[in-house]
């Protein structure tokens, strides 16, 4: 994976799409006669990446998530439902891939998602800094987490805002400020949302206050 990258295009040919997407190995099968049609925006660094995808065909999606990373998926449309890794998901479902897990999804026209991937060690360090349990303990090993609608709306809008900035100012997508967004700020907000759903409070004990003072 390059140190930084930006993919932004509309695809009508799946092979071209699969060759252009960074770090994902994808195998889609069409479930209708509609031609393949996809809008994709993806940017990131070697440590973390984000993507926004919309498909206008009924598809069986299979593939591998970026290796060495934990991947989280946020539905982008309030009304869509689809089948993901055997679970029926909707707009309030946060999808958390187990480490090394495969993608399998059945989706219809209008499928719109945001994907977020970060190095496993990096999100573990961030959870430790926040003094909350790691990702697997926060989710209790589940790969679908139902969050309050307001929380999901916040995560959706926050992630979409970052992607929109990257799309409208492509040079900005490669700056230290944008790397900080995807390597620190956004994963922190995701972890805190999961901690809130699990009833875990962010620590404000002496060690955390000491770090803040330093």
Q: What is the pLDDT of residue 36?
A: 82
Distances (CA, A) of 93 to 17, 122, 192: 26, 24, 16
In sequence order, what are the residues at sequence separation of 6 or more whose Cβ sits closer than 8 angstroms to the Cβ of residue 1?
A: 22, 23, 46, 66
Q: What pTM did the predictor assign?
A: 0.85
Residue predicted with more confidence, 184 or 34: 184
Task: For 159-187, write each residue's pLDDT tens digit.
Answer: 999 998 888 876 766 788 888 899 999 99
Query: Quick check: helix, strand or coil at residue 210?
Result: helix
Mean pLDDT over each residue of the chain, to the nearest integer:
85
Task: For 68-106, write each residue's pLDDT tens digit.
Answer: 999 999 999 888 889 999 999 999 999 999 887 888 999
Residue predicted with more confidence, 7 or 152: 152
pLDDT at 56 over 70: yes
Range of 7-11, 14-18, 52-56, 146-150 with top mean pLDDT: 146-150
Residue predicted with more confidence, 121 or 212: 121
pLDDT at 27 over 60: yes
């Amino acid at each position: 994976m390059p140190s930084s990258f930006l993919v932004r295009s509309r695809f009508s040919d799946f092979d071209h799409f699969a060759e252009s997407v960074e770090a994902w190995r994808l195998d889609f099968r069409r479930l209708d006669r509609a031609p393949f049609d996809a809008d994709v925006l993806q940017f990131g660094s070697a440590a973390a990446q984000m993507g926004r995808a919309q498909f206008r065909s009924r598809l069986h999606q299979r593939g591998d998530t970026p290796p060495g990373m934990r991947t989280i998926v946020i539905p982008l449309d309030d009304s869509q439902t689809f089948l993901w890794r055997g679970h029926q998901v909707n707009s309030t479902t946060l999808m958390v891939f187990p480490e090394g897990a495969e993608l399998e999804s059945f989706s219809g026209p209008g499928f719109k998602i945001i994907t977020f991937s970060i190095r496993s060690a990096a999100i573990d360090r961030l959870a430790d800094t926040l003094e909350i349990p790691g990702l697997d303990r926060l989710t209790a090993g589940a790969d679908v987490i139902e969050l309050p609608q307001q929380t999901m709306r916040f995560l959706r809008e926050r992630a979409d805002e970052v992607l929109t900035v990257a799309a409208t100012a492509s040079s900005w997508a490669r700056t230290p400020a944008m790397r900080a967004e995807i390597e620190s700020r956004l994963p922190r907000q995701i972890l805190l949302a999961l901690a809130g759903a699990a009833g875990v409070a962010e620590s404000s004990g002496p060690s955390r206050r000491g770090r803040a003072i330093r």
